[in-house]
A and B are shown apart, each in its own frame.
Chain A
Amino acid sequence: MSPTESPVLLRVAGLRKSFGAHQVLESVDLTVRTGEVLAVIGSSGSGKTTLLRCLNGLEVADAGVVEVGDSLRVDFATRPPRRRLDALRDRSAMVFQHDNLFPHKTVLENVTEGPVVVQRRPAAEARADALRLLERVGLADRAGAYPSQLSGGQQQRVGIVRALALRPQILLFDEPTSALDPELVGDVLTLMRDLAEDGWTMVVVTHELPFAREVAHHVAFVDEGTIVEYGRARDVLTEPRNERTRRFIRRLLHPL
């Protein structure tokens, strides 16, 4: 089950990013193996979301290297050409905190938009693929509905299906349950656990410590733009070595 032996899929070295004078990422190194789930935790403003966005080119890092598999290596020492960033983006798919579904398209159209319009797959095939994925998350009967007609949890599951339909190598999750009503969080987390069991490689920015402990293989704690602590999920979450990690976890577990 643990993918500790599988080949490295994502390698990040010396990643830096600042917005104006504000240095958001100091120097981040990271390795994710195929089939591994990495949970990235840390307080808001720590840089974890920026890290995630740098992995697929939504933000362009100022320095550092991102490698995916053996074939793609993007060096940010100079601003990479658009085509390199596109290649980077095509390796992954992101699920947002707010699902960002396209409101003017039906659930099915949301899912098939990328495969048909961007990847040029045959419409019938993409459609069948999408319906199978929707079936799997229990939303096949809502294929013709518009996003506004779904609950928040359903919207987020469609957001995940939209990412899966792109057949990416890596799934990136940016606090996918933070904007949901508490009683809807479970459905989404369950789906993510199933995806992990299916062997998807996932990087998950989250505040859900129980999820991180049970599903993630490794946990990275980000503070002030660097990874302060990294290790096996159980180790980091139950016996954190770093004082800042300890304080953060205590605050999440005992908010009062």
Chain B
Amino acid sequence: MSPDDWHLALGSLGPIAAGAIRGTIPLALFSFAGGMAIAVLVALMRLSRHRALVAVARVYVSVIRGTPLLVQLFVVFYGLPSLGLVIDPWPSAIVAFSLNVGGYASEVVRAAILSVPKGQWEAAYVIGMARRTALRRIILPQAARVSVPPLSNTFIALVKDTSLASLILVTELFREAQKVAAFSQEFMLLYLEAAIVYWVICLALSTGQSAIERRLERYVAH
């Protein structure tokens, strides 16, 4: 790399990092939080005895998994205004990403709940717990341990998918890189730099995943 390249790389690191800190990371965090709330709700609907709830949950998961995320994003941001519902770029992105994560993660949560042995439900009932209490205090904590690795996959995918938000005018990591690239015409350099920053974020997340797994596995015999 020439001295000019180094200069550009270091100079653009500021706006790209700012895009990550103000855009990519909060976008991923809020969307994941919203997505997990949806996921638990949809998983419980799928596991309920009411056929209507099961049907709604199935259709939801099917639609989310069967359509591209980019299309979902465009429906929320460009489509809803024609129904009179105008949402700003940021909330549009969070709504679309949350709905998307909710669909995928609900299957993870459902499988994790089913992986807890039936005896745990019965033991909870025997000590007098109602279904809701048993779920909250006995079943979900055990399901959480099982679901950390697959949910980490979902979260890491989400971090990278937030780059799509650049297409609905959200200022985030990739959009900052695009702006510098358009100005300097150094596409290879800027897009590689953006890729490296995404990678670093995901490396940090993987480290966090290991820490959470260790914490949740403290009661498992080795």
Q: Give chain A's interface residues, CB within 8 Å of chain B.
A: 56, 58, 86, 89-90, 93-94, 96, 98, 100-105, 113-114, 117-119, 146-149, 162-163, 166
Nearest 10 CB-CB pairs, A to B? A114-B127, A148-B221, A118-B128, A100-B123, A146-B219, A100-B119, A94-B126, A104-B141, A104-B219, A103-B219
Contact A102 B138 (CB under 8 A): yes
Could you list 30 A-B pairs, sorted by A, with CB under 8 Å?
A: A56-B126, A58-B122, A86-B128, A86-B130, A89-B126, A89-B128, A90-B128, A93-B126, A93-B127, A96-B122, A96-B123, A100-B119, A100-B120, A100-B123, A102-B124, A103-B142, A103-B219, A104-B142, A104-B219, A105-B219, A114-B129, A117-B137, A119-B128, A146-B218, A146-B219, A148-B219, A148-B220, A148-B221, A149-B221, A166-B127
Residue of B nearest to A145 (CB): B219
A93–B127 CA distance with the chains assembled, in angstroms:
7
Mostly, the B contact residues are helix
Known: A96-B122, A98-B119, A101-B123. 10 other contacts (CB 8 A): A100-B120, A102-B124, A103-B219, A104-B219, A113-B127, A114-B127, A118-B127, A119-B128, A162-B127, A163-B126
Is B125's beta carbon under 8 Å from chain A? yes
Contact A113 B137 (CB under 8 A): yes
Contact of B133 among A96, A102, A118 (CB under 8 A): A118
Residues of A within 8 A of B125 (CB): 58, 89
A103–B138 CA distance with the chains assembled, in angstroms:
9
Is B145's beta carbon under 8 Å from chain A? yes
Residues of A within 8 A of B133 (CB): 117-118
A93–B219 CA distance with the chains assembled, in angstroms:
25
Residue of A nearest to B222 (CB): A148
Name the distance in Å between B118's Cβ and chain A's nearest Cβ.
9
Given contacts A117-B137, A148-B219, contact A102 B120 (CB under 8 A): yes
Residues of B within 8 A of A86 (CB): 128, 130
Residues of B within 8 A of A146 (CB): 218-219
- Chain B interface size band reads 20 to 34
A148–B142 CA distance with the chains assembled, in angstroms:
14
Name the distance in Å between A108's Cβ and chain B's nearest Cβ.
13
Residues of A within 8 A of B137 (CB): 113, 117
Residues of B within 8 A of A105 (CB): 219
Contact B128 A166 (CB under 8 A): yes
Residues of B within 8 A of A89 (CB): 125-126, 128
Given contacts A98-B119, A117-B137, A118-B133, contact A103 B127 (CB under 8 A): no
A114–B137 CA distance with the chains assembled, in angstroms:
11
Chain A CB within 10 Å — which of B122, B127, B142, B220 has the most?
Answer: B127
Residues of B within 8 A of A147 (CB): 219
Residue of B nearest to A56 (CB): B126
Residues of A within 8 A of B145 (CB): 104
A90–B128 CA distance with the chains assembled, in angstroms:
6
A90–B141 CA distance with the chains assembled, in angstroms:
25
Interface residues of B in 102-153 (CB under 8 A from A): 117, 119-120, 122-130, 133, 137-138, 141-142, 145
A103–B145 CA distance with the chains assembled, in angstroms:
11
Chain A CB within 10 Å — which of B123, B130, B218 has the most?
Answer: B123
A148–B221 CA distance with the chains assembled, in angstroms:
5
Residue of B nearest to A105 (CB): B219
Residue of B nearest to A163 (CB): B126
Contact of A102 among B123, B128, B218 (CB under 8 A): B123
Residues of A within 8 A of B219 (CB): 103-105, 146-148
A162–B220 CA distance with the chains assembled, in angstroms:
20
Given contacts A102-B120, A102-B123, A148-B219, contact A114 B138 (CB under 8 A): no
A197–B206 CA distance with the chains assembled, in angstroms:
56
